[in-house]
Structure 1
Amino acid sequence: MTIEVWVDVICPWCYLAKRRLEAALRESGGTGGVLWRSYELVPEAPAVPGLTTVETMIGFGEDGREVTARFARIRRLGRQEGLTLNLPTARPVNSFDAHRLIHLAGRYGRRGQALEAVLRAYHTDNLDIADHDVLAGLAEQAGLDPGEARRALALGGPLAAEDHLGELVRADERRAAELGVRGVPAFVRGGEVVAAGLPSQQALTALLLDLHEVRGEVAGMAESFPAADAQGDVRSPR
């Protein structure tokens, strides 16, 4: 059975969850498939980079020391999964076009590769993932034709008559709303949300193998994080 996973590319918990799910897939012998779905945590975010993540959060009134400590914890978690997460110096941007690119990659069976390229570009390399030239380069890294990626991305936007890739993103988001998904990462199996936030690799392996009653087991095996961290990231109020 396929596990659907809703993610946003600007969410560090989603990058961590992807690594844990990949490890769980190896541990389970590749049982079941994974389908990555689109979600925008901040759909109104600008398409041009502005303040860093740290500056943004402090600007919203959060304590600077608490923000620094939180990002240090995320960085440690990243190292445990083999990731370099440079979240403090990332500059949040609108993720819609990045999701459109990932759906383009899905036409060629390379959605996971495109998602990986975008996640690394934002969280590790701090690139502008709203920039079409950057996205075309990431498309090439994922095994796509960068020229096709540029042309497909150029078809979108508020004035576009047709935007098939954008409609795929919106369809994912509508289904998330129907399922009651309000934050990411969120894991869905058989039309039911079975896990949210950052479960342990063991919990994800159990989910893939269907060894346990998923609701109780995933909740019981989830790691002990502060509440806001364990729940992943929640969409901002609109």
Structure 2
Amino acid sequence: MSEKVKVDIWSDVACPWCYVGKRRFETALAGFSGRDDAPEVEIEYHSFELAPDTPVDFEGTEVDFLAKHKGMPAGQVEQMLGQMTTVAAAEGLAYDFDALQHTKTLKAHELLHFAKSQGKQVEMKERLLKAYFEQGRHVGRIEELAALAAEVGLDADEVRTVLENGDFEDDVEQDIAQARAYGISGVPFFVFNGKYGVSGAQDPAVFTQVLDQVVADAAESVA
């Protein structure tokens, strides 16, 4: 079978479940792609801002932000982040919420669109998530984003220019509008061939099941 499978993924750089969901989807994809009859899978990431009103330089910790944003006691937030760290660790991710620098993710999303235009979006997405959740990097500042972009082979000066000019702001808005049209209210959200939607960081078996269904649909259409 040669027909390509397209997977569109709405997510936010500042979404802990998005990184977990990425790993679980990759686990499913590794098994799926190893089959002799598996089609090529094309992945495209789309923008979604969970907290668009966040300032670029938020004064406070992740606990401070979530306690205010969700209206939860600080102790409850700390417990929730501890549980999230354990969940992430099971996927091989080392979350460090103490080092995390909460910020507005608009410029990071603009960078992902630029990276897509250069054929580097998947690599850029991974680098941003790792930088944010594991390394305490500030992914809201243009200088930091340019440095991270250079690590995946993009031109840092070009990145600075497109981010300072807001060249990809409209692309981010279009993604968010499309999410609204689909009725997406939380991320991660996966859309397979524009037909099947999967909400949340599901078990790899769920993603495998949907991929199998997409293949079955394609086989049926040519039968």
Structure 1 and Structure 2 fold alike (TM over 0.5): yes
Output the TM-score relative to the length of structure 2: 0.86
Compared with structure 1, are the counterparts of its residues 25 and 64 closer, same or farther at alpha carbon in structure 2 (3 Å cutoff)? Answer: same
User: 141-150 vs 185-194, which deviates more?
Assistant: 185-194
Aligned to 1:155: 165
SS in 2 for 1:150: helix
Quote the Cα distance in structure 2 between the aligned partners of 1:66 and 1:89. Answer: 19
Compared with structure 1, are the counterparts of its residues 76 and 148 closer, same or farther at alpha carbon in structure 2 (3 Å cutoff)? Answer: same
RMSD: 2.0
Aligned to 2:173: 170
Q: Tell me if 1:38 matches 2:47.
A: yes
Quote the Cα distance in structure 2 between the aligned partners of 1:199 and 1:36. Answer: 17
**Any gaps of 5 or more consecutive residues in structure 2?**
217-223
1:200 positional shift = 0.4
Output the TM-score relative to the length of structure 1: 0.81
After superposition, what is the alpha-carbon deviation per residue over 1:115-169, rounded to whole angstroms, capped at 9, x for unaligned? Answer: 111111111111111111100011011211111111111112xxxxxx3x11111
1:207-222 alignment, distance < 5 Å: 207-210=210-213
1:112-123 alignment, distance < 5 Å: 112-123=122-133
Quote the Cα distance in structure 1 between the aligned partners of 2:180 and 2:195. Answer: 12
Q: Which amino acid aligns with 1:172?
A: D
SS in 2 for 1:2: strand
- Out of 63, 71, 76, the residue aligned to residue 66 of structure 1 is 76
SS in 1 for 2:33: coil
1:51 positional shift = 1.2
Aligned to 1:93: 103
Quote the Cα distance in structure 1 between the aligned partners of 2:170 and 2:196. Answer: 23
- Out of 175, 186, 192, the residue aligned to residue 183 of structure 1 is 186
Aligned to 1:27: 31
Q: 1:179, 1:193 within 8 Å by CA — same for their partners in 2?
A: no
Corresponding residue pairs, total = 207
SS in 1 for 2:137: coil
After superposition, what is the alpha-carbon deviation per residue over 1:168-212, rounded to whole angstroms, capped at 9, x for unaligned? Answer: 111111111111111100111243452111100111122222279
Aligned to 1:141: 151
Q: 1:91, 1:126 within 8 Å by CA — same for their partners in 2?
A: yes
Task: From the CA coordinates, give the structure whose radius of gyration is larger.
Answer: 2
